[in-house]
Structure 1
Amino acid sequence: MKKMYHLATCTTCQAIIKETGVDKLAAADRIKMQDIKTEKITAGQLEEMKKMSGTYEALFSRRAMKYKELGLKEKSLSEKDYRDYILDEYTFLKRPVTILDNQIFIGNDKKTVAALKAAVSDI
């Protein structure tokens, strides 16, 4: 399976999609794109991401506006909490999340984007 979970309105996601060439693969139907704002992540999809990443925490974004609004910084969150917050509010998913067969790329740090770009060039 080749799929990217992203937010269409996020300029960072848009830049990564262009930089890595995912936009061309999506246009050629070689990778499926899912805008998580318009098409919510299902529990099954999140579980698949967790199996590949190891934890829900690895998929959780502490940069989300609601993280501060809800005072989550002061709380000790469990794996179940991370899972529930991601399912309840799409902004808690660290974006973008790209699955290329048996590889997962989470977030937008430089190393992750570089690794994604290299992996995409092999498709």
Structure 2
Amino acid sequence: MYLLKTCSTCKRIMKQVKEFGEFEIIDIKVNAPSEAEIDELAKKAGGYELIFNKQSQKYRLQGLKEKSLSELDYRKLLLEEYTFLKRPVFLIDDKMFIGNGKATVDLLTKYLMSTKK
């Protein structure tokens, strides 16, 4: 599980899923994902844009919303700044759950419930 330990949303989601067991936690502020990890996450997700956090303050402050970014741009930004990684990211079995949206968290919870049996 990639997250930011200081993020209240990540804490809330962790609390919600802890009944399903322990997760290996990678605090991206302490251990920023390596180039290989970013590439692997993007490959599993289907692209760098899909793991990119467009809600990040730096995204707005740098005026990136107004720019047309390529996959290479997203990759470069993800490697430069850990807060650009959408979080949390759960890697469970061959599944990947990215972000804190209600639909994503619901899918994650349903998946965890189905594997708990």
TM (norm. structure 1) is: 0.88
Q: Which residue of 1 aligns with 2:13?
A: 16
Structure 2, unaligned runs of 5 or more: none
2:73 is equivalent to residue 81 of structure 1: yes
Q: Which residue identity does 2:28 align to in structure 1?
A: I
Q: Deviations over 1:19-68 (max 9, x none)?
A: 1227x622xxxx31100000110111111111111010000111100011
Cα distance in 1 for partners of 2:74, 2:65 equals 12
Q: Which residue of 2 aligns with 1:25?
A: 21
Q: Which residue identity does 2:6 align to in structure 1?
A: T
Structure 1, unaligned runs of 5 or more: none
- CA RMSD for the aligned pairs? 1.3
**Larger RCO, structure (CA 8 Å, separation 6 or more):** 1
Q: Which residue identity does 1:93 align to in structure 2?
A: L
Cα distance in 2 for partners of 1:48, 1:63 equals 22
Q: Which runs of 4+ in 1 moved over 6 A?
A: none
Q: Which residue of 2 aligns with 1:92?
A: 84
Q: Which residue of 2 aligns with 1:62?
A: 54
Cα distance in 1 for partners of 2:66, 2:44 equals 28
Count of paired positions: 115
Q: Which residue identity does 2:100 align to in structure 1?
A: N
- Does structure 2 retain, via aligned residues, the 8 Å contact 1:21–1:117? no
